[in-house]
Structure 1
Amino acid sequence: MARDRRQTAAGRSVLTVLTAFGVLAGAALAGAAPAGAVPLGKRVAPGVTYRQFDISAAAGETHAHLLTVDLGNPHVRLDLLYPGTVAARATVSKLADSVGAVAGVNGDFFNITETQHPGVEATGATVGPAIAGEQVLKAAVPTGQRFGPSLPPGTTTTDVFGVGTDRRARMDRLTLTGSVTTPEGRFPLRGLNQYALPENSVGAFTSRWGSASRMRATCGTDTDRAAACSTDTHEVTVEDGKVLSASDTPGSGPVPAGATVLVGREEGAQQLRKLSVGDRVTVTHGLVAATAKVPYTFAIGGYPVLRGGAPLSGLDDSVSAVRTVVGFADDGHRMLLLALDGAAAYRSGMTIAEEAATMKALGASDAFNLDGGGSSEMVTRDAGAGAVTVRNHPSGGAERPVPDGIGVFSS
């Protein structure tokens, strides 16, 4: 019976959204508006529109901020917002301003804390794969090592939302492909710039990782993020195709451009111990898409909640929170980016099931959940302004530094 009541609440949410768009167009917004509020349907840039409205959800009224992006407009493009390296964080406003984005939202879940591993620092790196400017940044951590709420059945940390070189948005899966070739043979590469490596594996860290310690990559197991760090580790630095140095303890500090640091745990560490300084080593890596036939210009991790107009089965319908979600319509040619407000009056938010229903009501055929809570944020830039404006109230009272986000750009 409780489930039926929650489903009814999700239905009420949909009706309220439709009312907001059908009745309030051209009129004042419903409910209290946050600082920097703008009229419904304000044009941010050619092909980019911002609006806000109230939603009646199961836990109470919440407030939504919505960006609509026409990918068919040749002046508009999307790309990943990030601080320049994977293991780093900055606020969404700083990320957007640093690259001249006209709008943006926060992105993937990330390694935010390491209370289970004393002495090990959180890296700030994201859970899923990431592509920026058509360049692969990182691969996904094992599903058991992810941060964030439980995944819906059938989804994994390799799920992504992205836009291809054909300018169409889509949901997909990106898996790591790669190898390490040594004088003794070849073995698979199973990690790339990620905060957690699979057990018994070798992973690669490049200059795109940043300066954070690589120790976290050897902690936890494939099924338990809180499990102890491995006691059997080894790393080697490869430069110009040769082993430059080796250590039994994963290090920290920037990886030089053109170099690769290989980190191994358990059987992977044993493989790396066979190498000596001066040995020839070749490392290859890339991401392979499950469905896309064109390269991605950008891709970001999270998990799907709506596919082909239908909510995924098993979506949580009991926990309400402030959330960020991205979706698309019109065969991937129209983007919808939605962030809930974290002001005290609206902080109850909505459930994942309500989120999927809301995106469907807004016309999305597919939708993808991103990090929420204190990370949820939307920014837009007024015409002629030198900086973006934060449109929602972050629930923590201030912007939270995050590792990535989705940026909207206009020429």
Structure 2
Amino acid sequence: MARHTQRAGRLRTACTLVTTLGTLAGAALLGAAPAGGAVADDTRAGSRIAPGVEYRYFDIPTPHGTARAHVLDVDLRDPHTSVGLLYPGKVAARAPVSALADGVGAVGGINGDFFNISETQHPGVEATGASVGPAIANGRALKAAVPDGQRFGPAMPPGVTTEAVIGVGYDRRARLDNLALDGKIRTPESRLPLGGLNQYALPVGSVGAFTHDWGSVSRVRATCGTDTSRGAPCSTDTHEVTIRDGRVVAAADTPGSGPIEPGSTVLVGREAGAQELRKLSEGDRVRVSHRLVAARSHVPFRFALGGYPVLRGGVPLPGLDPTTSAVRTAAGMSADGRRLFLLSLDGSPEFRTGLTIAEVADTLREMGAQDGFSLDGGGSSTLVSSTSTLVARAPGADAVTVRNNPSGGAERPVPNGIGVFSRS
């Protein structure tokens, strides 16, 4: 912890760590940080949550106000400690981070990817709540990325796509990468590429697969918008077929809803994809295969989720927004991937100005991160409710508590997050 305190002490200018904070006598570390006022010295230095896991918070003065950062510092070298995907058991579902963490016994966690939160541009179409980017849980691919033009969230840096992920491999090292879908649909007469996996938006002219992992939410949203416009009208040329035990058992011209049986796959096609699916008849043999392929990693991911990179090799990515401040969530990692920083800003009125995404990258770098990744957060400093949430369990407690005072005073349900686990 001493070396981290030294790093944090070097935060300068807009990201200078307050060093003149007074000590709160007898300050409790069990709940959220006080909204305003001084920060306890022992909390700034670090509070041990579990072996290899520490929690702390500190203030960051900027030209547009003071932000408060809450951090889980995770040492992946500790054999008792691991991280994994938090999610409600289905892709198209949401729950508060605290409920997700307590449901699987995590000692801490933060919210994750941006997600399909509303459908005001498509009246009568149900928002799915599903996340934008790829997701892997316990080594199993849950979903792939939507087209770039269909994402929710702020603009990404130049050259970044929705396939960007942060994750941890089976080698227990955190890393950034891109995960692309590699999938095929095989019939006795044809071979078709798979255009999507459990995602709320499919590429124009493609066929996507929905499995038991999707949930019960309607699949209509997958056929709305285009590759470049989220708000474009829904397709009028759609078709879906249900595959069970390798054969077509049902078909419909409109994507349906309801749970998908384990072992079954629903194929949804739009435009050219729909025309291909109409060639299938009940009883036809169909085989569907899919996997997520990493662009750079040779070690398979044990868990991964989407967002977008803001820091690589200790250098902020070009094109990061230096003007729009918000209550944000981010993650960073050391050069060797053995140390993970999970950061969420405070949403209390005193700190709601937050940080710009450029300031987030600088903060992660000053904390010791070589690579950094932006997760979902508030869209502006005036946002009433923000997704940003960090939870941690006090030693001996049975449940986590929210530490960062979410904007609006309550947690917003999210589709996924990063959980911290301890075998102790």
Q: Shorter-chain TM-score: what band?
A: over 0.9
Q: Deviations over 1:326-369 (max 9, x none)?
A: 00014100000110000001000010001001111111000000
Q: In structure 2, what is the Cα distance between the partners aligned to 1:298 and 1:82?
A: 11
Aligned residues: 396
Match of 1:231 among 223, 236, 256: 236
Equivalent position amino acid for 2:396 in 1: G
Tell me how far 1:34 sits from its aligned partner. Answer: 3.6
Equivalent position amino acid for 1:336 in 2: F
Q: In structure 1, what is the Cα distance between the partners aligned to 2:329 and 2:211?
A: 30
Q: Match for residue 385 of structure 1?
A: 397
Equivalent runs, 1:242-253 vs 2, <5 Å: 242-253=247-258
Answer yes or no: is 1:152 the counterpart of 2:153. no
Q: Match for residue 34 of structure 2?
A: 33
Q: In structure 2, what is the Cα distance between the partners aligned to 1:163 and 1:193?
A: 22
Q: Match for residue 13 of structure 1?
A: 14
Match of 1:121 among 118, 126, 129: 126
Distance 1:164 1:25, change over 3 A: farther
Unmatched 5+ residue regions in structure 2? 1-10, 28-32, 379-385
Q: In structure 2, what is the Cα distance between the partners aligned to 1:107 and 1:25?
A: 33
Match of 1:109 among 114, 124, 142: 114
Distance 1:200 1:11, change over 3 A: farther
Q: In structure 1, what is the Cα distance between the partners aligned to 2:63 and 2:371?
A: 22
Q: Match for residue 273 of structure 1?
A: 278
Equivalent runs, 1:293-308 vs 2, <5 Å: 293-308=298-313
Answer yes or no: is 1:404 the counterpart of 2:405. no
Q: In structure 1, what is the Cα distance between the partners aligned to 2:264 and 2:23?
A: 56
Answer yes or no: is 1:140 the counterpart of 2:145. yes
Equivalent position amino acid for 1:404 in 2: N
- For the 8 Å contact 1:92–1:104, the answer to whether it is kept is yes
Q: In structure 1, what is the Cα distance between the partners aligned to 2:204 and 2:339?
A: 40
Match of 1:161 among 162, 166, 169: 166
Tell me how far 1:383 sits from its aligned partner. Answer: 1.5
Match of 1:338 among 332, 339, 343: 343
Q: In structure 2, what is the Cα distance between the partners aligned to 1:26 and 1:131?
A: 42
Equivalent position amino acid for 2:389 in 1: E
Tell me how far 1:26 sits from its aligned partner. Answer: 8.6
Q: Which moved more, 1:362-371 or 1:390-399?
A: 390-399
Q: What is the root-mean-square deviation of aligned Cα atoms in Å?
A: 1.8
Q: Match for residue 259 of structure 2?
A: 254
TM-score by length of 1: 0.94
Tell me how far 1:396 sits from its aligned partner. Answer: 2.3
Q: Secondary structure at the match of 2:83?
A: strand
Q: Match for residue 366 of structure 1?
A: 371
Equivalent position amino acid for 2:421 in 1: F
- For the 8 Å contact 2:35–2:350, the answer to whether it is kept is no
- For the 8 Å contact 1:325–1:367, the answer to whether it is kept is yes
- For the 8 Å contact 1:141–1:197, the answer to whether it is kept is yes
Q: Match for residue 322 of structure 2?
A: 317
- For the 8 Å contact 2:218–2:257, the answer to whether it is kept is yes
Q: In structure 1, what is the Cα distance between the partners aligned to 2:360 and 2:115?
A: 21
Q: Match for residue 7 of structure 2?
A: none
Q: Secondary structure at the match of 1:360?
A: helix
Tell me how far 1:59 sits from its aligned partner. Answer: 1.7
Q: Secondary structure at the match of 1:386?
A: coil
Q: In structure 2, what is the Cα distance between the partners aligned to 1:370 and 1:137?
A: 18
Ranges of 4+ aligned residues in structure 1 off by more than 4 Å: 23-29, 35-38
Equivalent position amino acid for 2:34 in 1: A
Distance 1:26 1:171, change over 3 A: farther
Match of 1:355 among 346, 355, 360: 360
Equivalent position amino acid for 1:231 in 2: T
Q: Secondary structure at the match of 1:396?
A: helix
Q: In structure 2, what is the Cα distance between the partners aligned to 1:57 and 1:240?
A: 59
Q: In structure 2, what is the Cα distance between the partners aligned to 1:97 and 1:177?
A: 34
Answer yes or no: is 1:193 the counterpart of 2:198. yes
Q: In structure 2, what is the Cα distance between the partners aligned to 1:13 and 1:365?
A: 19
Unmatched 5+ residue regions in structure 1? 1-9
Tell me how far 1:385 sits from its aligned partner. Answer: 1.1
Q: In structure 2, what is the Cα distance between the partners aligned to 1:407 and 1:24?
A: 30
Q: In structure 1, what is the Cα distance between the partners aligned to 2:210 and 2:23?
A: 52
Equivalent position amino acid for 2:135 in 1: A
TM-score by length of 2: 0.91
Q: Secondary structure at the match of 1:204?
A: strand
Q: In structure 2, what is the Cα distance between the partners aligned to 1:123 and 1:409?
A: 28
Q: In structure 1, what is the Cα distance between the partners aligned to 2:34 and 2:214?
A: 40
Q: Which moved more, 1:107-116 or 1:33-42?
A: 33-42
- For the 8 Å contact 1:89–1:402, the answer to whether it is kept is yes
